Structure 1
Amino acid sequence: MSLPLSYTLLVNGSAYGSQSARSAYLFAKALIEKGHTLSSIFFYQDGVLNGSAMTVPANDEFDLVAAWQNLSLQHNVKLHTCVAAALRRGVISQAEAKQHNLEIHNLATGFELVGLGSLAEALLTQDRVVQF
């Protein structure tokens, strides 16, 4: 049996419209089941759309945003969302809404807007970083 490793996932695909985010979620669950540590997930490019509280899938569809939130709560996984990519795509935290004089915000609970420094730190400190 191999030793457990620490992982960060880099998700570039949106919650819907591509398979990459769902594949990342399934990979995350498999890592945890195998006893590895999943420290964080960094959502970048269109992946930041996974952090939108305004996503409403059809009743018969898998709710990937809620699944990320549950994974974070159950396994203490940080959901980091690139602030620059998020702002360009209309995913706004309460603090950013206030800073930019916007009336609304839509960053889903459990997600955090961070800079690329968080990804750089993961690249230096985790055993593996896997991109989807």
Structure 2
Amino acid sequence: MKFAIALLAGAQDPAARSALEFSRAVLASGHSISRLFFYRDAVHLASSLGVQPQDESDLAAEWRDFIQHYELDAVVCIAAALRRGVLDDAEAKRWERANSNTAEPWVLSGLGQWVEAMQRADRAVTFGN
């Protein structure tokens, strides 16, 4: 079974951890993930500038490692990202900002990517609100 998974919650919301654990369980069960879509505050997970206290888990790093390990398609909503200051190199240049703060495995793209993912998947699951 193919899953499309959308995350709308930031790292401080328990939904972000639940989405990661669900995604791990999907793959461990022999299913596949056609796309992970990060929207609203979940776009902060793509930022490389967040620093967690040493006694807390770094959920953004866990997501990044998970996506890279399984070579998953991880799309960050570009509109939500720009509003929250999450930029890749191309967008930093386009908007004349000094720096970017995201890179692989994250891809900035439009909401149409989520629509396409839902069309290709057998199940679509959303975490957060």
Q: Which moved more, 1:107-116 or 1:78-87?
A: 107-116
1:7 alignment partner in structure 2: 3
What is the alpha-carbon distance in structure 2 between the residues aligned to residue 99 and residue 49 of structure 1? Answer: 20
What is the alpha-carbon distance in structure 1 between the residues aligned to residue 68 and residue 47 of structure 2? Answer: 17
Tell me how large the CA RMSD over aligned residues is.
Answer: 1.0
**Residue 95 (structure 2) pairs with residue 100 (structure 1):** yes
TM-score by length of 1: 0.92
What is the alpha-carbon distance in structure 2 between the residues aligned to residue 31 and residue 65 of structure 1? Answer: 19
1:57 alignment partner in structure 2: 52
* Structure 1 stretches of 4+ moved >4 Å: none
Could you tell me how far 1:64 is from its partner in structure 2? 1.1
Instruction: Select 2:23's aligned residue among 28, 43, 52.
Output: 28
Q: Which has the higher contact order (CA 8 A, sep 6+)?
A: 2
**Residue 72 (structure 2) pairs with residue 67 (structure 1):** no
Q: How many residue pairs end up in the alignment?
A: 127
Matched residue SS, 2:57: coil
TM-score by length of 2: 0.94
What is the alpha-carbon distance in structure 2 between the residues aligned to residue 85 and residue 96 of structure 1? Answer: 13
In the alignment, is the contact (CA less than 8 A) between 1:83 and 1:114 conserved in 2?
Answer: yes
Matched residue SS, 2:5: strand
Could you tell me how far 1:109 is from its partner in structure 2? 3.1
Could you tell me how far 1:39 is from its partner in structure 2? 2.1
Which runs of 5 or more structure 2 residues have no equivalent in the other structure? none
2:75 alignment partner in structure 1: 80
